[in-house]
Amino acid sequence: MLDFFTIFSKGGIVLWCFQGVPASFTGPVNALIRSVILQERGGNNCYNHDSLTLKYKLDNQFELVFVVGYQKILTLTYVDKLIDDVHKVFRDKYRNQIQQNGTLGLLNGSFEFQDDFHTILREVEESGKARAPQAMKTFEQSQKSQKTVKSMIEKPADKVKENNKKNKASKKESPASEVVTSSNKSSPAPKQSSPAAAGNKDELTSEEIMQRNREEFFRKKMKGTNKANKSPKPEAQKEKGKQPRMWENGGSKTKALDYSKQEEGAPAPMPADDLMATQYRVGDMQGNLPDIECESSSEEEEEEEEEELPTIKPKAAPAATKSSAKKSSFGGMFGMLKGLVGAKNLTMEDMEPVLEKMKDHLIAKNVAADIAVQLCESVAKKLEGKVMGTFTTVTSSVKEALQESLVQILQPKRRVDVLRDVMEAQRLRRPYVITFCGVNGVGKSTNLAKISFWLMENGFSVLIAACDTFRAGAVEQLRTHTQRLNSVHPPEKHKGRTMVQLYEKGYGKDAAGIAMEAITYARNQAFDVVLVDTAGRMQDNAPLMTALAKLIAVNVPDLVLFVGEALVGNEAVDQLVKFNKALADHSMADKPRLIDGIILTKFDTIDDKVGAAISMTYITGQPIVFVGTGQTYCDLRSLNAKAVVAALMKA
């Protein structure tokens, strides 16, 4: 039984609705619009919301949306046919009215679709009724019943007859194999010295002849290798000690570069604190982070540059050359016009070759294969049936729609502003808590230190909670980062206030308990932000995933950030899906806490293969909050969606 069926325009005007139950369907439909249609996730026409399953169909020509909802526990096989039939009947019945007056004309005029819908629903329900299962055959009807017991008994004589048949067949094939092997110069067939030997050879099978020829070939090969001269033993190299580096192009050749001794009159080295402050450009990271920079030179810009290049005009050509030039110019013009659509409705046949190329291009740019397929399907559903302009090509239309979809995906529904949220937590006199999680070796601790530096640059004090009690050296790594950050921002520059401090309890302890103690300590000591470092874990490690879910459920952090590499492709989807699933499965709360945002690391190593950003954002629906672009504390950026899409679409 259907809960509801509604038809509305893409502008939000409800044209018609059917309600099978008295409950309101506004919430599920609004969730479908926010999470699927506006987020360009139309590759799959099914969406689950609480206990309902919603299926939808887009009409791009008339800008209409058809949505049907029913209970998730039901298996209704006729829903897809119902949507297609309703869509077809509705278009045919009100085509002229929509073309003349638009969708608002349906509301102003006479509009009766209730009887048509009930007729269609009755027909599809009849056609979708479960058929009676086919009766199984009895033993008497099977082929096995026709066999006798005597025919199923195997005798030794039967095996002998089968072997004789195989030998006869191999004897017929053996002369041909002898001809083939004898044609090989490196392995000639053995000479027949007597008729008896020839008779013995005739009795050999093809496999035995091939084995004999192979042995003879290897025997001759071994004789040739024995005659070869043995290579002389290399002379033992004398061990050399450490030699000073000599500079050939500058300075004296006899003088080596040596920093171990300071020359007289040389300036004194810069103090360590001032050196680190100069290296990390203290004061440059205040305010919001700068956007990531990507190479955004598009094909259109390259074409404009080619047109601006100077051209050399040739001398007057003969008449024949001029006529051929005219023909080629006309051919080029017609070839250019050949790809134009010409005010027609786009079909899947028109878009299929272009979408296939786009899919291969996205996969080559490190987008996960499943995500690339879903993106192309979403673009196809967005354009199918849409009326294109006269001077518009299919390629340009598909590319433009794909770019719009990618920008929309990288700008999800929720925006994370850490500085604003920290100031709001300050007003409430509590610390702002961020938890970092991810797989092993992606750079959680390093990017935690970068974010600490950025927060300190903006005047916030930071407490780092060392909750990675599993990996050896994790606490020492955070302690080193804390010392370096305190050297860059010493307490003397902040009126004696310690800007960053490490809270650690050693190894082998409960991570959730350490995080709780760190948050309490930060509240008592008036720290602004608590950054919780957790142990790296693979997505299928159940014990560590349970510990992470416990830490998040007990301490309820303000932000849960997943740290992932920009180098991965398909693995990014698997990591995020299993991380969210593990957090949901092992959570102790009624509503499990999932990942709130993403940190994309090692972005400086991928050139224009930025597809991991698309994969991670598409699979979670959460934004990329920070982007790591290097190895210093200043190498932290925010995501620029248009620059990333431009780099992704670059050929």
Residues 499 and 378 in one domain: no
Share in percent of the chain as helix, strand, coil (round to 5): 50, 15, 40
CATH code at position 23: 3.30.450.60
Same domain, 363 and 455: no
DSSP per-residue letters across 553-618: HHH--SEEEEEEETT-SHHHHHHHHHHHHHHHHS--SSS-----EEEEE-GGGSTT--HHHHHHHH
Q: Extract the tokens encoding 339.
A: 């790809």
Question: Which of residues 365, 386, 410 is at a domain's end?
Answer: 410
Domain that holds residue 588: 418-641
Token pair belonging to 156: 């030794």
pLDDT of residue 341: 47
Rounding to the nearest 10 degrees, give the CA dihedral for residues 26, 32, 37, 38. Answer: 80
Which secondary-structure segment (H or E) carries 97? helix 79-101
Helix (H) or strand (E) holding 371: helix 369-383
Q: Say if residue 422 is in the same domain as residue 406.
A: no
What CA–CA distance (Å, rounded) separates 145 from 126? 40
Domain boundary among 126, 159, 186: 126
What pLDDT does residue 382 have? 84
Contacts of 25 (CB under 8 A, 6+ apart): 3, 4, 6, 17, 19, 69
The domain tally of the chain equals: 3
64-71 and 52-59 beta bridge pairing = antiparallel
- How far is Cα 68 from Cα 65, in angstroms, rounded to an integer? 10
> Residue 446 and residue 436: Cα distance in Å, rounded?
11
Residue 343, pLDDT score: 57
Give a yes or no: residue 510 inside a domain. Answer: yes
Which pLDDT value is given to residue 350? 85
Q: Is 359 in the same domain as 477?
A: no
With respect to residue 452, please indicate whether it lies within any of the assigned structural domains: yes
176 part of a folded domain? no
Quote the Cα angle for 35-597-429, to 5°: 115
pLDDT of residue 306: 38
**CB hemisphere CA count around 218 (13 angstroms):** 5
pLDDT, residue 277, reads 52
Element (H, E) at 517: helix 511-525
Helix (H) / strand (E) element for 28: namely helix 26-32
pLDDT tens digits, one per residue of 86-143: 999 998 888 888 777 776 766 665 667 888 898 998 888 887 675 555 677 787 777 7
> Which of 91, 126, 161 is the last residue before a domain boundary?
126
User: Domain check: are 15 and 38 in the same one?
Assistant: yes
pLDDT of residue 484: 92
Cα 182 → chain centroid: 57
**Could you tell me which of 80, 71, 91 has the C-alpha nearest to residue 25?**
71
At 249, is the secondary structure helix, strand, or coil? coil
Q: List the chain residues with pLDDT less than 70.
A: 42-43, 103, 105-111, 128, 130-134, 150-152, 154-203, 223-284, 294-344, 389-391, 413, 589
Residue length, the chain?
651
Say which CATH number the domain at 365 has.
1.20.120
> Do 381 and 428 have their domain in common?
no
Separation of first and last alpha carbons in the chain: 50
pTM: 0.65
355 and 481 assigned to the same domain: no
